[in-house]
Structure 1
């Protein structure tokens, strides 16, 4: 046990902090009663900020649970996926065994199965596709020599965050398996929630990845029918669903309101066929996770993608000049309003030209975005390919594009800018496993109502094999020259770190509160060259927005400017985006600490002599 704990020193959290965060395990903080014990809500301080936690306190009432406890920690410590519940840490102290996760604001999927208002068909499809991506990730080995069999997939182990995005949890029963033996059966007992356990386990004496597929098939039918897998005094949903699918009477066991949304649609037929195939009696005839993902995306695509040209024409007022946002190389961008999921939504329509390259860019962006799932990457709300028109629809964000907000030091504060840069960096780190964006700029960053960034504009992007990330890759589509590394001006090849230079330019835009190309006074100047010169001369203050500079912690500024400068270094010396993420996270933590100290100091002075506060604040 001690040897195990020494493997994860960064994840060990003192019992004292957990007791303080949960108010000494107050029963008022209990949010769930599970097989392993009670789950408590609480708060912890991490990187200078308070985070909401769910602390699962192991109960030995049902027997020895050490194996499952350490198995879950071992599994989650290596998993990094947008749709897998993230592990904060664990405690093994004074006889207590506690696992800590980020607390998901909306609870688990099982709570919403019959709620067709909160979970429309559109949202259900998106949740299922994202969970399938998580299963695909653990089944395919997530970059390691082994893969995982989850063994506990059900609607209670699928958690939902504040935006109703799913997180797969419940890895306490998971088993590791060599990536080269992922079709083989691991001998073990049948474990899991009633109604989700693969009947073939008993016959074969063990599990393999197809056992997870069966359990997920049950979840798909729960989502489709709006009912739980197991209800007292009723047959199991799996049995009912197979019977009614085979007799083409699924609507008889579906929620009436949900059936009205989707009856006889291509999306419904594709989804139901996929769910049924997951429950095949013979595990070898079930689809694998890759195939499930493809089919669910197809079902999602029927709802999500197809938008008629006449709908877009109406939404943009017939592509009027008044609705034109930008006219650029990648097309014309129009704002508009469109009815989406019974709600009038602000959208941006990118109208693509008809040259060979522009048509290729249209399909390149759609195909790339189909394969991506990250909170800081914009998703396509729809597309159109009719009558010679090719249009991509995005949801229009409240705060527009980052480049529109660069000079605003009041709303776009320094700490908010740090969070935006960190979010974009995390998305790029995710992309660089097998995608190069090739067109990062402040225009290509959208900002939602919470100032959360979303990268869009993948028309120049390129995919590559993960094993090729250090190779030179042939490429003939590059971004605008203001963000393009000088060495690439006449180049036909790139490496995955190509985006790093462009991101460095964006960092200096954010820092200085000005765009990459500065015009005025009869002289045009390149911000990257100006920033590099001032950094080297140690006088960056001369070009930083004055309103921003007053907000900055000195150490935060030093860390930020240093990593921005390194991003503009020669291509072979660029940091990786993982390295950039770590530095920006550090800069944010320093600024957070600085602002908390300043707030406490101000509060203390206010309590002593309110008349002196203005002197402190406006000095």
Structure 2
């Protein structure tokens, strides 16, 4: 049974019907919106498998509590086993009364059919049976980054430095694919630690594409006008103020996640003293003084990190979090910078000036310059 096509022609989005369309071909005035992508996607072009509600109920033991592995505004995620193939999967059951509605369901199915990369979660199938909306993904055994970084139990081993850089680099590569290699380009719009999933080797994959938007082509300064969506603390300040969304909005969100990886702190934590509750606000003065960079290191690391690698990672985060979006680096530059910090690089034993001569962006000096009083 194919349940997808019956929803395409009926789809409207009254909240965004007056929005400028987000995608323009360089040689043509025609623009393509997500609505047009949905409407033009016949069911025989959808590669993901269709499931009946009964099949997914069987896979998850009728959605028993013991199979529940995640919960959020979108609904619940269950671990399941497909009866036909024996494959272990993650089944996301969208809350029919929740924040993620029909549009997000359709966009996520389409996005994950069009987008294929090792750092994006793989969509196996979906169900649109009656009023039920379910998505079936590959199962990521280590859960989300949030589970290992921000919800660490006393008996749980904290992430070491190399694992943190590996996760940051994987997430950055996923964004790089969306911004630079997908056709049309995609603005992710909901990058956060709970949306970065981990396999057994701590390889990171981006998930949850229901809020993704198609991006203007060829100019990172061109914006999409949109309702402000996403998670408080991760949204870029200009997007919150104006609703103007660019690929640099994703770069800001990545900077927040990188800062969380460095510090082990939540972006918003009301349990801390008032001046430390907003992670970015607390870190900004430290960004301007490299002699204080060690204050940002997660205490759970117990000092076990290369100092130069820490400094470089902080500098990259600071540039991503710049108030002015045009000053933020492209995500491809972030990937280049982070690639020098991984365990396979010689960065910890490399002189800072040598990196400049070898063509690596000197982010530390750039941050000091950009942060100086004007």
After TM superposition, the score normalised by the length of structure 1 is 0.46
C-alpha distance in 1, partners of 2:285/2:231? Answer: 22
Match of 1:287 in 2: 329
SS in 2 for 1:40: strand
- Identify which of 106, 116, 124 aligns with 2:164: 124
Q: What whole-Å deviation, never above 9, does each CA across 1:8-63 have from its counterpart, x for those lacking one?
A: 264322222111101122232221111111111111156xx421111111112236
1:41 has 2:84 as partner: no
Match of 2:308 in 1: 266
8 A contact 1:251–1:259 mirrored in 2: no
Encode CA deviations 1:130-181: one digit per residue, 9 max, x unaligned. Answer: 1111110000133x2x110000001000001112111111111000124335
Shift of 1:126: 1.3
SS in structure 1 of the partner of residue 228 of structure 2: coil
CA contact (8 A) 1:241 1:250 kept: no
Question: What is the number of equivalent residue pairs in this alignment?
Answer: 303
Counterpart contact for 1:110–1:228, Cα < 8 Å: no
Q: Which residue of 2 aligns with 1:15?
A: 53
Q: Tell me the equivalent position of 1:305.
A: 346
Q: 226, 236, 252: which is aligned to 2:264? A: 226
Cα contact 2:74–2:94 (8 A) shared by 1: yes
Check conservation: 1:39, 1:54, Cα contact below 8 A. yes
Aligned to 1:172: 210
Residues 554-612 of structure 1: CA deviation (Å, up to 9, x unaligned): xxxxxxxxxxxxxxxxxxxxxxxxxxxxxxxxxxxxxxxxxxxxxxxxxxxxxxxxxxx
Please show how residues 13-412 of structure 1 align to structure 2 within 5 Å: 13-45=51-83, 49-62=85-98, 65-113=101-149, 117-142=157-182, 144=183, 146-234=184-272, 235-248=277-290, 249-258=292-301, 260-262=303-305, 265-300=307-342, 304-305=345-346
Deviation digits for residues 528-567 of structure 1 (CA, Å, limit 9, x no counterpart): xxxxxxxxxxxxxxxxxxxxxxxxxxxxxxxxxxxxxxxx
- Do the aligned residues in 2 keep the contact of 1:141 with 1:148 (CA within 8 Å)? no
| Change over 3 Å in CA distance of 1:306–1:251 after alignment to 2 | closer
- CA distance in 2 between counterparts of 1:21 and 1:192 reads 30
- Could you tell me how far 1:259 is from its partner in structure 2? 5.5
Determine if contact 2:189/2:211 at 8 Å carries over to the other structure. yes
Shift of 1:291: 0.5
Displacement of 1:96: 0.5
The CA RMSD measured in Å over matched residues stands at 2.3
> Any conservation in 2 of the 1:270–1:298 contact (CA below 8 Å)?
no
Flag structure 1 segments of 5+ consecutive residues without an equivalent. Answer: 309-366, 368-619
Instruction: Indicate the SS of the match to 1:140.
Output: helix
Give the secondary structure class of the aligned counterpart of 2:326: helix
User: 3-state DSSP class of the match of 1:203?
Assistant: helix
Instruction: Give yes or no for contact 1:141–1:179 (8 Å, CA) kept in 2.
Output: no
How big is the shift at 1:258?
A: 2.0
Deviation at 1:185, TM superposition (A): 0.8
Gaps of 5+ in 2: 9-40, 350-357, 359-374
Quote the offset at 1:118 in angstroms.
4.6
* Higher strand residue share: 1
Matched-pair contact (CA < 8 Å) for 2:121–2:207: yes
Normalised TM-score (structure 2): 0.75
Q: Between Structure 1 and Structure 2, whose CA radius of gyration is higher?
A: 1
Pairing of 1:450-599 with structure 2 (within 5 A): none
Measured in 2, the distance between the counterparts of 1:124 and 1:10 equals 32
Q: Is the 8 A contact 1:131 1:166 kept in 2?
A: yes
How much does 1:64 deviate?
6.7
For the structure 1 residues 13 and 154, does the alpha-carbon distance in structure 2 shift closer, same or farther, using more than 3 Å as the test? same
- For 2:188 and 2:120, locate their aligned partners in 1 and report how far apart those are by CA, in whole Å: 12
Query: What is the rounded CA distance, in whole Å, between the counterparts of 2:195 and 2:48 in structure 1?
Result: 25
